[in-house]
Structure 1
Amino acid sequence: MNKVLPSLLAVLIVSGCATGPDYQRPDIDLPQQWSAQTGPAKSADVAGKRWWSLYADPVLDKLIDEALLNNADVQVAAARVLEARAQAGLTDADRYPSVSASIGVNRTQSTLRGSFPRPADLSRTQNSYRATLDASYEVDLWGKYSRASEAARADLLSAESAREAVRLSLTAQIAQQYFALIAADAQEAIARRTLATRSETLALNRKRLESGSISEYELYQTVAEEANIRAQLAALTESRVKAESLLAMLSGRSPRDILSGNVVLGKPAAVQEVIVPAGLPSELLLRRPDLAEAEQKLIAANARIGAARAQYFPSVGLTAYLGSESTSFSNLFTGPAGIFQFAAILTQPIWNANRIGLGVDISEARRDQALAQYRQAVANAFKDVRDALASQTASKESLNAQSSRSKALESALSQAQLRYNAGISSRLEVLDVERNLLQAELAKADAELASKVALANLFKALGGGWGKESDVTTAE
């Protein structure tokens, strides 16, 4: 025993040596900081990850809170976190000894025709009672189990990041669909007002035709325009209904609520342009939940290479039991019935048709896949930010242009109506201006939607709000 203890101590010391490779974050050519953006700006209070508070719409806040609580994708992601946490605990359990207790009885009968005669005083039937406390443990010499635990912990962090990515994506989707519904509702109202005007004009022209003031040609033009508006209204109504259904589904509502389509709309304030100030380090983007998820997957794949390589080396298994054994149950727990055993076994793979080598190759190939996916995710993230910033600028310019166009066409319609009433121009000129005004008003509603969606896309691309008043500015 005196020789065994130093040997075991040496084994336990060696067990601290784990096979590599150790994880290092890949070198990626990142820009040093964000490009500067110019323009009048003031501080904006971005309340942590509740970036949608910039919209200043309590109805939207309530919808997002409802979705984060009830949305099925969020619930699935949360359940996956629980699964990964349990799996990490299960993997960690392999690093510790297992202890169990057993008690059993055995009754046997010996043959009378065997090679060895039985003593006359020995009963042919024997009873045996046994109670033991059993323990087993495999010494983690080369980090097989510690690397597996490292991979399992990375899987857990990956699942948590995936949950946050789902939540971030959902908040952006809710905001986008909410404003899409507002835009669809506004466009439908515009079309209904235009249809009412066209219907009145059609009724008036029918009377004018009867009195001979206009020709059938002018009447048919009015009929065609009125029918065209009715067709546009039907399409806009369909878009509104679909937007209501999608928003209700994203909010996690019941099938009955989805069918009813009862979605309350608020009156959001004008959206300000968010300025990402120069000087912020570009590494800030690496906190995006989808990038964190991709990196944790890379860490897990890297750790599993070490677990696979550890299979090449010897393993030491320790087993022991302590208990009692007796032919009589009444004597089972007496001193003379005591038994114990301690055993150690050293196992070294010699030939297994290259199973271990192929397992290492598989792990390395999966690590290479995870590395490529991580690099691509980082590249996509910077692309998303650049595109989102460009969309925000373009949507602001488009909204200003469409607003100017709509005002100009309103004035042009008044002038065209005056010219028609004075007999200077035909009804066709008035109809042409009315048609252009309708399209301009619909386009303006689309531009307002685009400006609000651009803000959601920007914060989704950036991974949420900064949470500090000095980190984000808004341009009026």
Structure 2
Amino acid sequence: MPKKQIWLLSSLMGSLLLAGCSLAPQYEPANVATPLKFKEATSLLEDENWKVAQPNDIQSRGEWWHVFNNAELNELEQQAIVGNQNLKSVAANIQASRALKSAAQAERMPSIGVGFGPTRQRLSPASQGLDANAQTSTQTLWRAQTNVAYELDLFGRIASSVNAATADVQQQEILYQSALLALQADVAQSYFQIRQLDTEQVIYERIIKLLTESHHLMQARFKNGAVSELDVFRAQTELSTAQTNLLSIERSRANAEHALAVLLGKPPANFALPKQVLTETSIRIPAGLPSSLLERRPDIAAAERAMAADNARIGIARAAFFPRLSLTGALGYESSTLGELTQWSSRTFLLGPVAGTILSLPLFDGGQRKAGVTQARAIYEESIANYRQTVLNAFREVENGLSDQRILEQQINAQAQALSSSQHANKLSHLRYREGVVSYLDVIDSDRNILQQEQLAAQLHGSRMIASVDLIRALGGGWTMNQTQAFTQ
């Protein structure tokens, strides 16, 4: 075999061996400082009805809202999953990222095309080796051919592109789970907020009824000369203030209902939630270990996939420093007339590019490729920082949720004592009124105080339900129950 052919064969084999080598740094997720346990976790008891799940990044986070044992909430959650438009938008992003991944994978395969058509040209005398003043004729050339192009992935440019696109798809799939968890939590919190406002509204209606009776009593006593006009105005002020507060609650309730309708993917005009007082349900949520949070939180998993994609893009930027080998060819027919195009004698083929070279390597670009690598590295460092910040925020949200549970539990216990004392004082007030020791105004004031304590208790119970949802969201969902009923106090 001639030396020239041996050299060409050796070069081709060497290129094939180099194909697929990746210049991307070996990817390793960034290290994060993970505490052995949550600071607030020691203050809460573990509930045997709960089991900490360990789902994968893109698995469902579980129908955790069933722990509240509320059929109406269960139905609203299902409606939101089906109708929420933001969730559909995130799902569309998954389809777009999968299409980009398919496009990146397509670069691994040769591209094949067919063409047909004439060209009309007049060659210059110089191209024919003739004198400058020589005459040349105009020619028509018909072509029907198949074109093939294929790039050997010598230094992993295509492989890095596929790796980056794959990580992008995984990130979008995880972001869908993150958006789904956020939607489920928003629906639950909106529902409990509405029920808290419903409870407050019922309490304020009772307060207004008492204040109306007090106002009427003051007017009657003023006519009899028992009290001054100042007492009448004070009673009217308290009544008007309570009515204003009730209207404020109704306004907040309407806004919350409209927001819930949008979460469900419905126009607010087509959605109405009947009034219902808040059901007092207490659940105990075990925090688990901080390390398991890195597995449960979808936003943490999405940040990690972003790191992987940016790491692969460093390989793409590095590959620009090395040669690109593109194999091209064409096979078909050429003739000067259309009728002779399909004759066997008109066959033709071409190996190599029509213009340019097979192997290309830019030697000088003013630092453009170097800047590309620097930019890719900087983006990767940014994704590392974003990942670590996401983890820190997750730890903070869990600690906040645990502390909210602990403090709200203490507040509810203290408020229960206050309500109990107020109820005992109210019984004494009614007894003393029947004995003629105090006036009826003292009884009304005692009744109003009980209602105010009930309102504060309703607000605390609503806050605890909302805080429970916040904690489940902070823990990344992924909860299941061994029993069908939540632990209820």
Q: Give TM-score scaled by structure 2 length.
A: 0.87
1:212: Cα distance to partner?
3.4
Cα-to-partner distance string for 1:185-213 (whole Å, 9 max, x where unaligned): 11111111111122122223322332334
Which shows bigger deviation, 24-33 or 360-369? Answer: 24-33
1:266: Cα distance to partner?
6.3
Specify whether residues 267 and 183 from structure 1 end up closer, same or farther in structure 2 by C-alpha distance, changes over 3 A only.
Answer: closer
What pairs up with 1:304-323 in 2 under 5 angstroms? 304-323=313-332
CA contact (8 A) 1:195 1:226 kept: yes
Task: Name the aligned partner's letter for residue 144 of structure 1.
Answer: R
Return the match for 1:65 from 59, 65, 78.
78
For the aligned residues, what is the CA RMSD?
2.9
What are structure 2's unaligned runs of at least 5 residues? 54-60
Return the match for 1:263 from 273, 280, 286.
273
CA contact (8 A) 1:55 1:270 kept: no
Specify whether residues 117 and 350 from structure 1 end up closer, same or farther in structure 2 by C-alpha distance, changes over 3 A only.
Answer: closer
Task: Name the aligned partner's letter for residue 128 of structure 1.
Answer: L
Cα-to-partner distance string for 1:293-321 (whole Å, 9 max, x where unaligned): 11111111111111101111111111111
Cα-to-partner distance string for 1:41-76 (whole Å, 9 max, x where unaligned): 432478961000001111111111111111121111
- Kindly indicate whether residue 287 of structure 2 is the aligned counterpart of residue 283 of structure 1: no
What pairs up with 1:127-142 in 2 under 5 angstroms? 127-142=140-155
Return the match for 2:187 from 170, 174, 178.
174
What pairs up with 1:394-473 in 2 under 5 angstroms? 394-419=407-432, 424-425=437-438, 433-467=446-480, 469=482
Q: 2:58 corresponds to which residue? A: none
**Structure 2 CA distance for aligned equivalents of residues 45 and 163 of structure 1:** 24
Q: 1:99 corresponds to which residue? A: 112
1:422: Cα distance to partner?
5.4
Return the match for 1:232 from 234, 241, 245.
245
Task: Name the aligned partner's letter for residue 49 of structure 2.
Answer: S
Task: Name the aligned partner's letter for residue 462 of structure 1.
Answer: L
- Kindly indicate whether residue 17 of structure 2 is the aligned counterpart of residue 7 of structure 1: no
Which shows bigger deviation, 10-19 or 420-429? Answer: 420-429
**Structure 1 CA distance for aligned equivalents of residues 165 and 276 of structure 2:** 45
Task: Name the aligned partner's letter for residue 150 of structure 1.
Answer: N
Task: Name the aligned partner's letter for residue 102 of structure 1.
Answer: G
**Structure 1 CA distance for aligned equivalents of residues 46 and 362 of structure 2:** 71
Specify whether residues 133 and 434 from structure 1 end up closer, same or farther in structure 2 by C-alpha distance, changes over 3 A only.
Answer: same
Q: 1:391 corresponds to which residue? A: 404
1:32: Cα distance to partner?
3.8
CA contact (8 A) 2:142 2:341 kept: yes
Q: 1:218 corresponds to which residue? A: 231
Q: 1:193 corresponds to which residue? A: 206
Secondary structure, aligned partner of 1:29 = coil
Return the match for 2:97 from 80, 84, 91.
84
Q: 2:348 corresponds to which residue? A: 339
Return the match for 2:390 from 362, 377, 391.
377
Task: Name the aligned partner's letter for residue 233 of structure 1.
Answer: L
Cα-to-partner distance string for 1:424-461 (whole Å, 9 max, x where unaligned): 45677556545543332221111111121122111101
Specify whether residues 475 and 282 from structure 1 end up closer, same or farther in structure 2 by C-alpha distance, changes over 3 A only.
Answer: farther
1:180: Cα distance to partner?
0.4
**Structure 1 CA distance for aligned equivalents of residues 329 and 176 of structure 2:** 44
**Structure 2 CA distance for aligned equivalents of residues 102 and 347 of structure 1:** 26
Task: Name the aligned partner's letter for residue 411 of structure 2.
Answer: S
Task: Name the aligned partner's letter for residue 272 of structure 2.
Answer: N
What pairs up with 1:282-301 in 2 under 5 angstroms? 282-301=291-310
Counting matched residue pairs gives: 467
Return the match for 1:29 from 16, 30, 33.
33
1:284: Cα distance to partner?
4.1
**Structure 1 CA distance for aligned equivalents of residues 200 and 111 of structure 2:** 68
- Kindly indicate whether residue 215 of structure 2 is the aligned counterpart of residue 202 of structure 1: yes
Secondary structure, aligned partner of 1:222 = helix
Task: Name the aligned partner's letter for residue 31 of structure 1.
Answer: P
**Structure 2 CA distance for aligned equivalents of residues 351 and 40 of structure 1:** 65
**Structure 2 CA distance for aligned equivalents of residues 57 and 327 of structure 1:** 82
Secondary structure, aligned partner of 1:290 = helix
Secondary structure, aligned partner of 1:323 = strand
1:334: Cα distance to partner?
2.1
Q: 1:49 corresponds to which residue? A: 62
What are structure 1's unaligned runs of at least 5 residues? none
Cα-to-partner distance string for 1:258-299 (whole Å, 9 max, x where unaligned): 035512466775423324276x57234333111111111111
Specify whether residues 229 and 117 from structure 1 end up closer, same or farther in structure 2 by C-alpha distance, changes over 3 A only.
Answer: closer
Specify whether residues 19 and 473 from structure 1 end up closer, same or farther in structure 2 by C-alpha distance, changes over 3 A only.
Answer: farther
Which shows bigger deviation, 47-56 or 427-436? Answer: 427-436
Percent pairwise identity: 30
1:105: Cα distance to partner?
1.3
1:386: Cα distance to partner?
1.5
Q: 1:274 corresponds to which residue? A: 284
